[in-house]
Every structure is written in structure tokens, then in C-alpha cells.
């Protein structure tokens, strides 16, 4: 992951809370995870106010999508999809499009 010029997306259930990805509170895991991501120059892609995890008595934002700068500019329409999926975690949807900020010859 530390190699240069690599386009990386990391997504998963990190069981960490931080305001950076929508949680109303930041816990210890969230702080450590933010430090780790900053060290690797990863950007938080989460951009929806819908919780990524929902149980009857609990809603939280513990599923996170991270990306390097180049691929961050290409990710569009990141959103949480809710429904009856037979899991406590909601689906996360995003598209990867062409980076319109980079000029090619």
C-alpha cells in the first residue's frame, strides 16, 4: 500500500466510529484508524447520512470506504442502500468514473 502511483480502494467493516465518516462520536478505534489512514494518505469516501449498520436498537457508521487521491477523484455517487438484505450491514454503492481533472494528450 505504501508504493507510489497505486490506485487503492479499501472498504469494510472497521467497527470504529468517527465524525470523519458520519458517526456522531469518535471512539478510540476511530482515532487510531484516522491516524493509520493519514499515514497512508487515504481519503474517507463515505458521503451519506444513512447508517451503514442497523439493528433494532442500534444504528452506526462502522463500514468505511477509503481511497488514494487518484482514485478518490474518480469515485462518484457513493451511497448507502437500505433494504431487506438479511444482514445488519447495509450495502454500499459507488461508481468509478473517469478522472475529469486529469488532462491527457
Q: What is the pLDDT along the chain (105 residues), one digit of tens a residue?
A: 666 667 899 999 999 999 999 999 999 999 999 999 999 999 999 998 999 998 888 899 999 999 999 999 999 999 999 888 788 899 999 999 865 454 434
Q: Does residue 75 belong to any structural domain of this protein?
A: yes
Per-residue model confidence (pLDDT) at position 85 = 77
Residue 104 belongs to some domain of the structure: no
* Residue 64 within a domain: yes
- Asked whether residue 3 is assigned to any structural domain, the reply reads no
Residue 99, pLDDT score? 54
How long a stretch of residues is the chain? 105
The total number of structural domains that make up the chain: 1
Cβ contact 46:78 at 8 Å = yes
CB 69 within 8 A of CB 44: no
Predicted local confidence at residue 83, as pLDDT: 82
CA 19 and chain centroid, separation: 12
Residue 34: strand, helix, or coil? helix
What local confidence, expressed as pLDDT, does residue 104 receive?
38
Buried b (16+ CB within 10 A) or exposed e, 60-76: bbbbbbbbbeebbbbbe
**Is residue 18, in this structure, part of any structural domain at all?**
yes
Query: Could you tell me the residue range of the domain that residue 23 belongs to?
Result: 9-96
The CATH number given to whatever domain includes residue 54 is 3.60.10.10
Amino acid at each position: 500500500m505504501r508504493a507510489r502511483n497505486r490506485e487503492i480502494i479499501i472498504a469494510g467493516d472497521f467497527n470504529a466510529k468517527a465524525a470523519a465518516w458520519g458517526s456522531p462520536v469518535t471512539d478510540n478505534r476511530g482515532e487510531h484508524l484516522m491516524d493509520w489512514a493519514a499515514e497512508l494518505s487515504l481519503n474517507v469516501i463515505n458521503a451519506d447520512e444513512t447508517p451503514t449498520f442497523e439493528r433494532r436498537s442500534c444504528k452506526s457508521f462502522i463500514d468505511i470506504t477509503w481511497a488514494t487521491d487518484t482514485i478518490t477523484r474518480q469515485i462518484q455517487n457513493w451511497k448507502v442502500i437500505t433494504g431487506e438484505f438479511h444482514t445488519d450491514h447495509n450495502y454500499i454503492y459507488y461508481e468509478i468514473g473517469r478522472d475529469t481533472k486529469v488532462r491527457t494528450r
